[in-house]
A and B are shown apart, each in its own frame.
Chain A
Amino acid sequence: MIEVEHLTKRYGAFTAVSDISFKGEPGEILGFLGPNGAGKTTTMRILTGYMPPTEGTARIAGYDVFHQSIDVRRHVGYLPETVPLYPDMTVGGYVRYIADLRGVKEAASRVDDVLKTVGMYERRHSLIRNISKGMRQRVGLAQAIVHDPEVLILDEPTIGLDPLQTLEVRDLVRGLGKNHTILFSTHILSEAEQVCDRVIIIDRGHIVAMDAPQVLRERLQQGGRLFVRVGGVTPEAARKGLAAVTGVASAEPYNDGYVVTVSGLIDVRARIASSVVGAGWQLLELRPLAMSLEDIFLELTTRPGSDGSVKQIQPKKKDKVRA
């Protein structure tokens, strides 16, 4: 449904998006994650035919975004970051206007259906200037789905909403994801974790990671860090003992135990357990330090000199240097 190949966009000397490639399958919700200015909006604008790419190609529903722009636009529903509303129109009139411009058949009943879907049917006669921000967001969403597009591109649809409205919009997106391909940008990580089938993490124009949110988390935990608590030994000896285990990069005191950093994508739990017991100490606790998507995100996007070619996750900067 969405095929992006080596897409690059430059604004003069500044490269907003650099050689990114990804695919979106039918019925998939793709989370597009990155800090502000990472290139999310630029990518989305290219995919919707708003601006052409500098290099590379992108296809939506089989149509090229540059050469078959009008066909692409027919198959895409787009909610830009600033919700594009006309304050002087009524909710119903606005959605009807967009439906007409999109050539929707039986527009009147379709507009009513869509307004019911987003929960704005009761407010259809209100002027857009008089409704709340959350409602505007929902009207924007109604506009994006009115022609029942195969691909839905939503640029930060939950930004600026209160927690309840955020939940509502997420539910709505999840519901739509059953029969639409959705590309959904956000910088709220828990949101991507809850809503998306697959997460693409983008930073400074590069894709730094791309996988299902659970997989991303597991990969990091496999290596990652372990929390170990031992008894019957002096703290300094315990620290040295743990650091000496094969595959352990370092051991640092943490609360009443130690955080063991593992080098590489290996499972060292068995080795730690046997060496602790072998030394005659007591193993009181051994568990992976859970990393949220938040940690992954920070780790991937704050890495100095990130070159963006990384698609396999490397758990630690140090490991990359050693490898």
Chain B
Amino acid sequence: MRSLWIIFRRELAQYFTSPIAYLVAFAVLVLGGFVFNNDLAARNGGRAPTDGSVILTYFAYFTLFFAPLLTMRLMAEEHREGTIELLMTLPVRDGDIVLGKFLGAWGYFSIILALTLVYQILLIWLSPPDLGKVISAYFGVWLYGGASIAVGLLFSALTENQIVAAFLSTASLVLLWLADLVGKLIDNRPFAELVRTFSFQSHYLYSFAVGLVRLNDLVFFVGAITIMLFVTTRLVESRRWR
């Protein structure tokens, strides 16, 4: 637990010394501001009821592209710099390394997500939205972000090249997000159903985003995180045997 905390702290602190992390936060906020203004204008100057979850749905789209930028260096850089050899000869379990890095990245993701609260404050000041729905949407995006970061971490452990890690993560995340559409292309019904259940979109858009917190969506995201972290840990361990 102690080493997990130390690794988490360093990984989180790492983002605050990295220009990429600031640029990501900046880009997400600019895009968020644009989307927010656009949405407000579309609501006819306040005559239609405001909806705090719209900005979060867009945030979920942005996540597809920026989460990999946060995760690409996590393991790839350790391999490139050779620091993995040090980490793996410290009295620290491989699982603690992976979990610490995951929590650090998820922590930074949560900070960026928290920055969007400014829009909710504006909404409350203008015309209070349905707060239950907003809270459920935040919870959903937060979980979905965790799953996205776990996917990114896995690809970061697969390759020494950060660009490759980022690209493969984005491709996988887009595919996972749209897995329900992928399922529609498949003729074999049971297989199509199976593919559809992996859709990140359908576990967020039709539940958390409309104010529904369902156990199966919760289990889906927590399960996805657990499986990704487990596979990543195995990947890191497998380096010892090569």
Query: Which A residues are within 8 Å of any B CB, using their own CB?
Result: 11, 45, 48-52, 70-71, 73-74, 76, 78, 80, 82-88, 97-98, 100-103, 143
List CB contacts (< 8 Å) of B79-103 with chain A: 81-93
In angstroms, how far is the closest chain B Cβ from the Cβ of A127? 9
Task: Identify which of B2, B10, B89, B93 contacts A48 (C-beta below 8 A).
Answer: B89
Residues of chain B at interface, number, CB under 8 A:
24
Task: Identify which of B3, B82, B240 contacts A101 (C-beta below 8 A).
Answer: B3
Known: A73-B91, A97-B6, A101-B90. A80 touches B240 (CB 8 A): no
Task: Identify which of A48, A73, A84 contacts B81 (C-beta below 8 A).
Answer: A84
CB-nearest residue of chain A to B88: A50
In angstroms, how far is the closest chain A Cβ from the Cβ of B43? 44
Contact indicator A73/B85 (Cβ below 8 Å): no
Alpha-carbon separation in the docked complex, A56 to B10 (Å) = 37
List CB contacts (< 8 Å) of B1-21 with chain A: 2-3, 6-7, 10, 14, 17-18
Contact indicator B90/A84 (Cβ below 8 Å): no
Contact indicator A50/B18 (Cβ below 8 Å): no
* Residue B125, interface by CB 8 Å: no
Contact indicator A103/B91 (Cβ below 8 Å): yes
In angstroms, how far is the closest chain A Cβ from the Cβ of B238? 11
- Taking CB atoms, residues of chain B closer than 8 Å to A85 are 81, 83
- Taking CB atoms, residues of chain A closer than 8 Å to B88 are 49-50
- Taking CB atoms, residues of chain B closer than 8 Å to A71 are 91
Contact indicator B86/A78 (Cβ below 8 Å): yes
In angstroms, how far is the closest chain B Cβ from the Cβ of A55? 14
Contact indicator A102/B81 (Cβ below 8 Å): no
Task: Identify which of B18, B84, B90, B240 contacts A88 (C-beta below 8 A).
Answer: B18
Task: Identify which of A11, A73, A83, A103 contacts B89 (C-beta below 8 A).
Answer: A73
* Residue B241, interface by CB 8 Å: yes
The 8 A CB mask of B46-84 against A (1 = contact, 0 = none) is 000000000000000000000000000000000001111
Q: A-B contact count, CB below 8 Å?
A: 63
Task: Identify which of B6, B14, B18, B82 contacts A80 (C-beta below 8 A).
Answer: B82
In angstroms, how far is the closest chain B Cβ from the Cβ of A16? 12
Contact indicator A88/B17 (Cβ below 8 Å): yes
- Taking CB atoms, residues of chain A closer than 8 Å to B18 are 88
- Taking CB atoms, residues of chain B closer than 8 Å to A100 are 6
Contact indicator A50/B91 (Cβ below 8 Å): no
Contact indicator B86/A143 (Cβ below 8 Å): yes
Contact indicator B91/A80 (Cβ below 8 Å): no
Task: Identify which of A70, A84, A101, A103 contacts B85 (C-beta below 8 A).
Answer: A84
- Taking CB atoms, residues of chain A closer than 8 Å to B10 are 97
Task: Identify which of A50, A73, A82 contacts B240 (C-beta below 8 A).
Answer: A50
Known: A51-B241, A80-B82. A101 touches B7 (CB 8 A): yes
12 new A-B pairs (CB below 8 Å) besides A76-B89, A101-B3? A49-B88, A50-B240, A51-B241, A70-B93, A71-B91, A73-B90, A83-B82, A84-B85, A84-B87, A86-B83, A102-B91, A103-B2
- Taking CB atoms, residues of chain B closer than 8 Å to A103 are 2-3, 91
- Taking CB atoms, residues of chain B closer than 8 Å to A73 are 89-91
In the complex, 13 of the A-B residue pairs with CB atoms within 8 angstroms, ordered by the A residue number, are A11-B242, A70-B93, A78-B85, A78-B86, A80-B85, A82-B82, A83-B82, A84-B81, A84-B83, A84-B85, A88-B14, A100-B6, A101-B7
Contact indicator A52/B241 (Cβ below 8 Å): yes
Going nearest first, the 6 A-B pairs with the smallest beta carbon separation are A84-B86, A82-B82, A84-B83, A48-B89, A73-B91, A74-B91
- Taking CB atoms, residues of chain A closer than 8 Å to B87 are 84
In angstroms, how far is the closest chain B Cβ from the Cβ of A10? 12
- Taking CB atoms, residues of chain B closer than 8 Å to A45 are 85
Contact indicator B81/A78 (Cβ below 8 Å): no
In angstroms, how far is the closest chain B Cβ from the Cβ of A230? 59
- Taking CB atoms, residues of chain A closer than 8 Å to B241 are 51-52
In angstroms, how far is the closest chain A Cβ from the Cβ of B152? 19
- Taking CB atoms, residues of chain B closer than 8 Å to A70 are 91, 93
- Taking CB atoms, residues of chain B closer than 8 Å to A50 are 85, 88-89, 240
Contact indicator A52/B240 (Cβ below 8 Å): yes
- Taking CB atoms, residues of chain A closer than 8 Å to B17 are 88
Interface centre among B82, B89, B92, B242 (most CB of A within 10 A): B89
Contact indicator A80/B86 (Cβ below 8 Å): yes
Alpha-carbon separation in the docked complex, A101 to B10 (Å) = 11
- Taking CB atoms, residues of chain A closer than 8 Å to B240 are 50-52
In angstroms, how far is the closest chain A Cβ from the Cβ of B81? 7
In angstroms, how far is the closest chain A Cβ from the Cβ of B167? 23
Contact indicator B2/A84 (Cβ below 8 Å): no
Known: A51-B240, A88-B14, A97-B10. A102 touches B83 (CB 8 A): no
Alpha-carbon separation in the docked complex, A204 to B173 (Å) = 47
Alpha-carbon separation in the docked complex, A49 to B92 (Å) = 11
Alpha-carbon separation in the docked complex, A51 to B89 (Å) = 9
Alpha-carbon separation in the docked complex, A100 to B96 (Å) = 14
In angstroms, how far is the closest chain A Cβ from the Cβ of B203? 36
Task: Identify which of A11, A52, A88, A98 contacts B86 (C-beta below 8 A).
Answer: A98
In angstroms, how far is the closest chain B Cβ from the Cβ of A83? 8
